[in-house]
């Protein structure tokens, strides 16, 4: 592994929070709330942040809004935090433009979701060409982002085998349940795989993932960092026990309610969550009440 | 039906071409090619154009590019042509913004695809609220756009029943195969349904659709208009025969190759098609050769 | 078309009821109820019956039970009624065995659903070989059965093109919404296509289908026969109006509730429907009450 | 945990081979080949066998054939081997009948796949009622079988929570990638979870699975038993390394080719595999050659 790759591997190792984007009840951006959330998270052991991810409702923002959000995060983040930014659009030229803008603002890595508007046409060849085209023209290195729950595309191991030695494609985030080991074993040495969900974070680490981008870290960053440390240390019994608890916790929040649930839980623990943008619906009063009870019963939230 | 609705119904009756967006080999916009395509189509019996639809690769364009494309189409279209514009983004605020921009440029109708990034959360309630929010704040009336092949969401008849009496929601385009009659029978009187594919255009007209937005009309506008006229006149035998031929033709082009096929066929018949934007791949030389032979054999293209 | 094919075409033209299989509350077969249902249907204009179809819960029966059901139907049917039997299992040898048993009992046609346990392996080649193997060894001619809602397989037009000239493969039943015209235009001359749902029966007839196998005919055989006659006669206005009403009716019954709904509606109009076999659940008391009200409101059922 | 449950847990701990069913080129059963395969496997550390599973093509067999296969396996198995039998049909009465027949023949456990013909109707309530009905009337205890790749149904954690305390429902086999931990944390204490694929066997064991039913064990039983022992011993480094190798191996065989690949690989290592039953296609000569090369390159097969 090159010196360069070793450095990047170190920077990608740990827990990343895919920051939620705060809105008011009319769907207007609340950038100061975002800054304040980041300032709180700065004090945690989080390795860094993902701006403009699925949990940041990046596709619900206009182009200019996306950049305002990223600027806010970059400004508010303490210097040791690593910043990834969702720069994957539906075409190579637009994704390149986003990578350029993100680089200028100060993001360290671009994150490229598999384009999926034309999902049925996304052959291995189409994806490989796309990822390489964007990486070559991006000023910052990129990470691939596999999320079949959203895209209906599961990146093949052929794609990973082909692009994982590219000097500008440093790793991937895998939010599918069950393909992470296959990516690990098919990737070229040095390629960094991050778990995209707290549900399989511990087993991912056991198998060789370097870290995770976990929506649960928006709400409960410290338990996620504990789990990371148990994984790195190979503490099987404690790790399994915490993983199972965190899995249950994650199901209550994003498993059941998605982004709206993450935001509602953020409100409950002292961050600003607020409502998602339409067409996403916020939790009902009853759902919020139940969520509060569940979180207290879980032991992760104090009454 | 109100005078207003009668007028809109008349304007939506007929065949619309969902215009392709021309690019060069590097993915750069070629607006003059687009204008020239429109000028050729102005001479046909087409009722109008859909700018920024699926076949226009609207999600492959940046926000500013979308508006350049729309401006070009509005400028080049002859005055009697009706202009619809794809203004459906992934959130209400962004869709409203697109409707406002499209209205300023001169589009007559906005077309709202069902948001689908969070497809699993798109309950009837979520979609109804979204469509009404956007319609209320749009300066121009809107049409809904149902395309489960892309979105993995089939709009329910409950949604149509609820929103089809809204004064700003005038109709819908249905690209699903097999739900058009159900929308027709559940919609409030006066709601205009357009077929979103040449595959079921004739039967759609028989059942009560007012027109169609047909990618095949980008390539073969006149046969599509012939089919429309046979449908309106209720000429069963001739209509069926032409429908079956057109179905076969459509399968050769967009059925087999999607947008890239429509563009390749445009090149063959004298429009500018050109390559799609990456990650979509253009047809290979061999595929183009086969397409040419198939089109000639179909009788719709002269050698 | 051969004399033989003309004769078969005539026999397949019209409306077929895919007979429900009556059970008691413990899931025991009630063959006398089945016979009595058939005797009532004998007096209608139905062209014939499909025994052991999806609505007959054929896969919920053991092998010996399947043959008891078929025998009961064959015995009870009046001689002019044509009998199809579901003889499609998950492998060629078992399907052949079912065809042989069905032939002995007196069925006129076997119906072969696309095997789907190994759906991901059902390439065109696999399906073509399978259909031909079974047809060659079946004593009676067979019809193909396409039902992606159950099987997650949509038969390709390539399959139809290849097998539709086989002397023992006379036609198909298409329950997918939206592929019927494509099958018609790709099939060899003389191949009989039947609509598999009342939702698109009229347009199917307009396009060239010879008949339909309609679960709604289990409940309302006469309106289905009326629709058939309007389709054959090409009466556009009356046909469309009845089609739209029947579509609404069908949605209340099998659209909403599937087999359990068809059975509940049968009970309401004087047939024996009864409960489906577990794991299918019967309608709740409240659902039955609502169904009754809806059917009365539809005008198709007298109070 | 009751004495009884402890005993069953011990009997379910380890690696099970889901035995393939041998056929000749015409699809005829070759029971003596099956017996001979079992005799070879008797000498391994395998805990037992699954008769009539997905890899046994159980749905491709007639009812009487299924029982012949089971008898052959029970007779050939050495006394310490534990026998599970696929007894899940598409309805409660038929599944109960299969459980009774399997019990008479000598199977120790029945395995109940989620019924899936009516997949869209398989609510939690429907599945819970079904599993309990069958378990109550089965003479032998049952295991649930979750395989969404075949059934398009992912059993919910609600189902597991409700049925996992039933005295006759002792555990489950999970072939989905990514739900195993969720089942573990939601099940009542003592419920046994087995991994249904070698792809996630090691991490499954780490999280609390008691064993696995692995198609790879039909071909390479000893490496699968090695992986089991590393998992039980919590040897992280060796376990991970072997897991990654086995994952790659599994992808070459069943990942790429399914049942036909397992059978072809069996032929290569000295078992009788033979062709699958139509409509499944056997590997082509070229595919077999490539498989042979891949297996040799993997190091698991001697040249």
Measure the CA–CA gap between B208 and B211, rounded to whole angstroms: 9
Neighbours of chain C (3+ CB pairs under 8 A): B, D
Separation in Å, CA of C268 to nearest CA in chain B = 25
Interface test with D, best of A203, A238, A239, A298 (most D CBs within 10 A): A203
Q: What is the pLDDT of residues D244-268, one digit of tens each?
A: 999 999 999 999 999 999 999 999 9
Interface test with B, best of C244, C251, C252, C254 (most B CBs within 10 A): C244
Note the pLDDT of residue C187. 98
Measure the CA–CA gap between D124 and D141, rounded to whole angstroms: 21
Measure the CA–CA gap between C194 and B146, rounded to whole angstroms: 27
Give the active site residue among C81, C168, C173, C263. Answer: C173
* Joined tokens for residue A269: 């623990």
Nearest-Cα residue of chain D relative to residue C276:
D91
Nearest-Cα residue of chain B relative to residue C185:
B244
* CA angle (A135, A138, A144) in 5-degree steps: 40
- Strand-pair category, A192-195 with A211-213: parallel
Q: Taking residues C84-89, report their average pLDDT.
A: 98
Q: Which are the catalytic amino acids of B?
A: 173
CB contact under 8 A, B207 and C240: yes
Phi first, then psi, for residue B111 (nearest 5°) are: -115, 125
Tell whether C79 is within 8 A of chain D (Cβ). no
Phi first, then psi, for residue D21 (nearest 5°) are: -105, 115
Other beta carbons within 10 angstroms of residue A196's beta carbon come to: 30
Other beta carbons within 10 angstroms of residue D36's beta carbon come to: 15
Measure the CA–CA gap between C131 and C193, rounded to whole angstroms: 16
Tell whether C293 is within 8 A of chain D (Cβ). no
Interface test with D, best of C120, C278, C284 (most D CBs within 10 A): C278
Specify the DSSP class assigned to residue C33: H
CB contact under 8 A, B277 and A92: yes
Q: Taking residues A140-144, report their average pLDDT.
A: 98
- Does ipTM top 0.85? yes
Chain A stretch 252-271, residues whose beta carbon is closer than 8 A to a beta carbon of chain B: 258-260
CB distance D11 to D250 below 8 Å: no
Nearest-Cα residue of chain B relative to residue C208:
B240
What is the number of H-type helices and E-type strands within chain D?
Answer: 13, 8
Note the pLDDT of residue C303. 82
Q: Residues in chain D with pLDDT < 70?
A: none
Confidence of residue A174 (pLDDT cuts 50, 70, 90): very high
* Joined tokens for residue C120: 């991901």
| Touching, A vs D (3+ Cβ pairs under 8 A) | yes
Tell whether C157 is within 8 A of chain B (Cβ). yes
What's the distance, CA D122 to chain centroid? 22
Note the pLDDT of residue A22. 98
Tell whether D278 is within 8 A of chain C (Cβ). yes
Note the pLDDT of residue D303. 82
Measure the CA–CA gap between C49 and D253, rounded to whole angstroms: 45
Give the active site residue among A33, A168, A173, A263. Answer: A173
CB contact under 8 A, B199 and C178: yes
Separation in Å, CA of B185 to nearest CA in chain C = 6
Residues of B in contact with C208 (CB under 8 A): 240, 244
* Number of A–D residue contacts, CB under 8 Å: 69
List CB contacts of A212: < 8 A, sequence separation 6 or more: A15, A16, A194, A195, A196, A197, A198, A201, A204, A205, A224, A228
Could you confirm whether C173 is annotated as catalytic? Answer: yes
CB distance A130 to A158 below 8 Å: no
CB contact under 8 A, C182 and B199: yes
By C-alpha distance, which of C100, C74, C71, C102 is closest to C86? C102
CB contact under 8 A, B279 and A93: no
Model confidence, pTM: 0.97
Closest Cβ–Cβ partner in C129, C152, C278 for D152: C152
Tell whether D157 is within 8 A of chain C (Cβ). no
Tell whether C148 is within 8 A of chain B (Cβ). no
Give the active site residue among D33, D81, D168, D173. Answer: D173
Residues of B in contact with A28 (CB under 8 A): 93
Note the pLDDT of residue C124. 98
Closest Cβ–Cβ partner in B178, B248, B251 for C178: B178
Note the pLDDT of residue D221. 98
Q: Give kind and range of the element (H or E) at residue C135.
A: helix C124-137
Give percent of chain B with pLDDT exceeding 90. Answer: 97
Residue D243: Cβ-neighbour burial (10 angstroms; 0-12, 13-18, 19+): buried
CB contact under 8 A, C248 and B177: no
Q: What is the pLDDT of residues B8-19, one digit of tens each?
A: 999 999 999 999
CB distance A51 to A16 below 8 Å: no
What's the distance, CA D232 to chain centroid? 20
Closest Cβ–Cβ partner in C186, C208, C247 for B185: C247
pLDDT at A1 over 80: no
CB contact under 8 A, C119 and D150: yes
Q: Taking residues A195-214, report their average pLDDT.
A: 98
Measure the CA–CA gap between C140 and D2, rounded to whole angstroms: 57
Confidence of residue A102 (pLDDT cuts 50, 70, 90): very high
Tell whether A93 is within 8 A of chain B (Cβ). yes
Closest Cβ–Cβ partner in C63, C121, C133 for D62: C63
CB contact under 8 A, B236 and C240: no
CB contact under 8 A, C185 and B236: no
Residues of A in contact with D200 (CB under 8 A): 178, 181, 203
Note the pLDDT of residue C1. 72
Residues of B in contact with C200 (CB under 8 A): 178, 181, 203
List CB contacts of A202: < 8 A, sequence separation 6 or more: A227, A230, A231, A239, A240, A242, A243
Nearest-Cα residue of chain C relative to residue B200:
C178
* Joined tokens for residue D253: 């065989």
CB distance D92 to C277 below 8 Å: yes
CB contact under 8 A, D207 and A243: yes
Chain A stretch 126-145, residues whose beta carbon is closer than 8 A to a beta carbon of chain B: 126-127, 129-130, 133
What is D218-231 written as a DSSP string? GT-HHHHHHHHHHH
Note the pLDDT of residue B242. 98
* Number of C–D residue contacts, CB under 8 Å: 120
Q: What is the pLDDT of residues C209-240, one digit of tens each?
A: 999 999 999 999 999 999 999 999 999 999 99
Tell whether D206 is within 8 A of chain A (Cβ). yes
CB distance D228 to D13 below 8 Å: no
Nearest-Cα residue of chain C relative to residue B175:
C178
* Joined tokens for residue D286: 């070229």
Tell whether B215 is within 8 A of chain C (Cβ). no
pLDDT at B1 over 80: no
Tell whether A79 is within 8 A of chain D (Cβ). no
Note the pLDDT of residue D1. 72
Residues of D in contact with A244 (CB under 8 A): 181, 184-185, 207-208
């Amino acid at each position: 592994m090159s010196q360069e790759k070793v450095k990047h591997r170190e920077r990608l190792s740990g827990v990343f929070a895919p920051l939620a984007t705060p809105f008011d009840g009319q769907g207007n951006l609340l950038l100061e709330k975002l800054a304040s959330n980041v300032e709180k998270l700065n004090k945690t052991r989080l390795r860094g942040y993902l701006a403009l991810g699925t949990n940041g409702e990046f596709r619900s923002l206009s182009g200019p809004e996306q950049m305002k959000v990223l600027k806010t995060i970059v400004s508010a983040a303490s210097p040791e935090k690593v910043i990834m930014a969702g720069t994957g659009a539906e075409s190579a030229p637009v994704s390149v433009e986003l990578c350029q803008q993100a680089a200028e603002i100060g993001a360290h890595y671009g994150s490229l979701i598999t384009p999926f508007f034309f999902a049925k046409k996304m052959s291995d060849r189409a994806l490989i060409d796309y990822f390489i085209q964007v990486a070559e023209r991006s000023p910052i290195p990129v990470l691939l982002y596999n999320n079949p729950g959203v895209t209906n595309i599961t990146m093949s191991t052929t794609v990973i085998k082909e692009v994982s030695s590219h000097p500008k494609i440093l790793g991937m985030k895998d939010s599918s349940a069950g393909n992470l080991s296959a990516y690990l074993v098919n990737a070229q040495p040095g390629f960094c795989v991050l778990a995209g969900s707290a549900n399989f974070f511990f087993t991912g680490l056991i198998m060789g993932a370097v870290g995770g981008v976990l929506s649960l870290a928006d709400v409960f960053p410290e338990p996620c960092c504990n789990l990371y440390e148990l994984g790195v240390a190979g503490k099987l019994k404690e790790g399994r026990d915490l993983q199972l608890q965190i899995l249950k916790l994650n199901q209550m929040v994003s498993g059941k309610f998605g982004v709206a649930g993450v935001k509602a839980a953020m409100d409950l623990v002292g961050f600003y969550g607020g409502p998602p943008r339409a067409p996403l619906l916020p939790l009902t009063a009853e759902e919020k009440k139940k969520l509060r009870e569940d979180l207290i019963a879980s032991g992760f939230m104090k009454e």
